[in-house]
């Protein structure tokens, strides 16, 4: 093994990762109670309820956060729960559109502006949430991400402010993010919510779960893969976990083969 061109190892690793993404196998994944709690809370929302998703991340958070957004959208549309997408980060509208591009064709019976809407990014950071608590249309200057006048969309005939939300989800990679949703929407309005955060942010958000300020937590790509399995729609997150698991197996195999080769060579020289 010592004489094997390292490029061969790289090629094998690439092939394994590509295979996992092209054909997700759904290797065994234990679903955590935190993910179950988030899923159950959303799944228990009555038909006609409204869930607000904060797309508070940029392109760097796509691998870990986008799969959960798709799974939640899928779950809500199946259960006839309406979705309002918005965000305090500049790329919020674009991130939401990435989700809609894939998910809209799956629900031809659902209508934009009636069953779901993408408000997109509006400046102000946490001030956006504070304004939206009183007047969602005013806070967004009456324009959604697609250029529609929000006041003409049927979904806003009943959803006038964040006070009308039944549940909220913050997809977050940093600040502004989860603490703002809790401080402005969750705690004062007594509206339950949860979050999906990138892996490095899990420890700093776990106290909100322990205090009951968050209903469960979706923990990065691992949590997103669990959520995909709960909605019975394995996707990118499950594929990502497959790729990670398979790559670890390949690494262990090369380590084992390397040690065997070394011991056999040592035995011959001895």
| pLDDT at residue 19 is higher than 90 | no
Q: Is 142 a domain residue?
A: yes
| pLDDT at residue 2 is higher than 90 | no
pLDDT on residue 7: 73
Q: Is 190 a domain residue?
A: yes
Q: Is 98 a domain residue?
A: yes
Element (H, E) at 102: helix 92-103
Q: Is 1 a domain residue?
A: no
| 68 within 8 A of 237, measured Cβ to Cβ | yes
Report the chain's mean pLDDT, rounded to a whole number.
89
How many folded domains does the chain comprise?
1
Helix, coil or strand: residue 51? strand
| pLDDT at residue 247 is higher than 70 | no
Helix, coil or strand: residue 44? coil
Q: Is 128 a domain residue?
A: yes
CA angle 52, 228, 18 (to 5 degrees): 125
* Cα separation, 14 vs 6, whole angstroms: 13
Q: Which domain holds residue 208?
A: 31-234
Question: What confidence tier does 11 reach under pLDDT thresholds 50, 70, 90?
Answer: confident
* Cα separation, 70 vs 227, whole angstroms: 10
* Cα separation, 71 vs 270, whole angstroms: 59
pLDDT in tens, 126-146: 999 999 999 999 999 999 999
Query: What is the CATH classification number for the domain harbouring 49?
Result: 3.40.50
pTM score of the predicted model? 0.83
Q: Is 53 a domain residue?
A: yes
């Amino acid at each position: 093994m010592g004489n094997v061109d390292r490029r061969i190892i790289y090629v094998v690793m690439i092939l394994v990762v590509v295979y996992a993404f092209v054909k997700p196998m759904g290797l065994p994944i234990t679903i955590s109670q935190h993910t179950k709690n988030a899923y159950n809370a959303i799944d228990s929302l009555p038909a006609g309820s409204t869930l607000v998703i904060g797309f508070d991340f940029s392109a760097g958070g796509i691998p870990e956060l986008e799969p959960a957004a798709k799974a939640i959208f899928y779950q809500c549309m199946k259960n006839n729960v309406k979705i309002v997408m918005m965000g305090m980060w500049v790329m919020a509208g674009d991130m939401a559109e990435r989700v809609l591009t894939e998910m809209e064709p799956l629900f031809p019976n659902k209508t934009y502006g009636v069953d779901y809407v993408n408000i997109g990014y509006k400046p102000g950071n946490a001030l956006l949430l504070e304004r939206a608590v009183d007047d969602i249309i005013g806070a967004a200057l009456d324009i959604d991400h697609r250029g529609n006048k929000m006041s003409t969309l049927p979904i806003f005939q009943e959803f006038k402010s964040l006070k009308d939300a039944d549940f909220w989800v913050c997809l977050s990679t940093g600040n502004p993010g989860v603490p703002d949703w809790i401080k402005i929407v969750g705690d004062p309005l007594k509206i339950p919510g949860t979050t999906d955060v990138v892996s490095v942010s899990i420890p700093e958000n776990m106290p909100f779960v322990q205090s009951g300020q968050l209903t469960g937590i979706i923990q990065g790509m691992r949590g997103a893969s669990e959520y995909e399995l709960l909605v019975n729609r394995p996707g990118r997150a499950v594929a990502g976990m497959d790729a990670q698991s398979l790559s670890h197996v390949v690494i262990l195999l090369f380590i084992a083969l390397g040690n065997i080769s070394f011991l056999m060579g040592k035995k011959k020289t001895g």
